[in-house]
């Protein structure tokens, strides 16, 4: 029977047959739990008639405190993504242009922090930024300040710590593209009369755009759902969607509200990835 099928149909059948096990695994590990999460988010509040309800979403998106948590997550993601891009883009070129041992040393310095957990790195920043920490000790020793500066539990400390944690996820995708970039492209642009700025904007930037888009998607999706870094570096005074989910499940015992916050967080992360993929396609076009 298979031999009598047209070649295209036979190829499709073989592709479906080979991808079937992977599809079932993805369905069991991702689709079903997400479906259950969405179902839990539609549970009616206690004391109301049973049945699907949007009360949890209404509470999340209309209450000023919880709406502020949504905005804090988005704002943190935007700030961290922009700063990691500004730092990581030239760093990627520096690593790609380095030779021999220097490149190995830079890559080692880049991969080494990934071996430590986020909790360890966040605690390290609390030690660095506290009143008796290294940063204040250096500032006092140099006479720049007369008294310890309050750094920990501030939004600045949160952004600095988050940039440090998520910076490798921006550098690696950009570096993967830059390492394959022919350095003669900029020389060719200069030969054709383009100044350095025009050569960068019209040649280098478009060619490295896939790496930028991949790094932006990774950092944005990771930072918008960050829990450990905001909890340790700024605490309860800066609520986020991740901390709202944890509080709903662990403290207030409101699974429907926690699930609704999780669905909203998932929608934001997926929207970031979809938008990044669209930008990447437009860039390639």
pLDDT for res 107: 87
pLDDT for res 1: 42
Q: What is the domain partition of the chain in residue ranges?
A: 1-41, 56-284
Would you list the DSSP string of 81-99?
A: HHHHHHHHHHHHHHHHH--
Dihedral angle sign, alpha carbons of residues 131, 135, 137, 141: negative
Q: Is 0.85 topped by the overall pTM?
A: no
Closest of 119, 59, 74, 51 to residue 248, by C-alpha: 59
Biggest distance spanned by C-alpha atoms of the chain: 87
User: Predicted confidence band at 67 (pLDDT cuts at 50, 70, 90)?
Assistant: very high
CA angle 13, 14, 16 (to 5 degrees): 65
What is the percent of the chain with per-residue pLDDT over 70, rounded to a whole number?
A: 94
Summarize pLDDT for 201-228 with one digit per residue, the tens: 777 888 888 889 889 989 998 999 999 9
- What CATH number was assigned to the domain covering residues 56-284? 1.10.3720.10
């Amino acid at each position: 029977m298979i031999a009598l099928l047209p070649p295209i149909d036979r190829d499709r059948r073989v592709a479906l047959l080979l991808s079937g096990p992977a599809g079932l695994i993805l369905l069991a590990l991702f689709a079903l739990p997400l479906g259950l999460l969405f179902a839990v988010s539609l549970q009616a509040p206690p004391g109301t008639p049973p049945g699907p309800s949007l009360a949890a979403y209404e509470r999340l998106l209309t209450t000023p405190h919880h709406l502020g948590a949504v905005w804090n997550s988005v704002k943190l993601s935007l700030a961290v993504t922009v700063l990691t891009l500004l730092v990581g883009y030239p760093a990627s070129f520096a690593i790609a242009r380095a030779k021999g041992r220097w490149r190995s040393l830079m890559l080692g310095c880049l991969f080494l922090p990934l071996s430590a957990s986020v909790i360890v790195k966040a605690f390290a920043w609390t030690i660095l930024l506290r009143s008796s920490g290294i940063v204040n000790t250096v500032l006092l020793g140099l006479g720049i300040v007369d008294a310890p500066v309050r750094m920990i539990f501030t939004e600045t400390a949160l952004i600095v710590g988050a940039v440090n944690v998520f910076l490798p996820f921006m550098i690696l995708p950009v570096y993967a593209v830059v390492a394959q970039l022919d350095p003669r492209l900029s020389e060719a642009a200069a030969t054709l009369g383009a100044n350095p700025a025009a050569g960068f904007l019209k040649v280098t930037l478009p060619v490295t755009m896939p790496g930028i888009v991949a790094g932006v998607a990774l950092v944005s999706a990771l930072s918008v759902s960050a829990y450990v870094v905001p909890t340790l570096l700024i605490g309860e005074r800066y609520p986020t969607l991740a901390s709202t989910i944890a509080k709903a499940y662990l403290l207030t015992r409101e699974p429907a509200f926690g699930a609704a916050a999780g669905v909203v967080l998932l929608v934001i992360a997926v929207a970031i990835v979809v938008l990044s993929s669209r930008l990447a396609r437009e860039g390639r076009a």
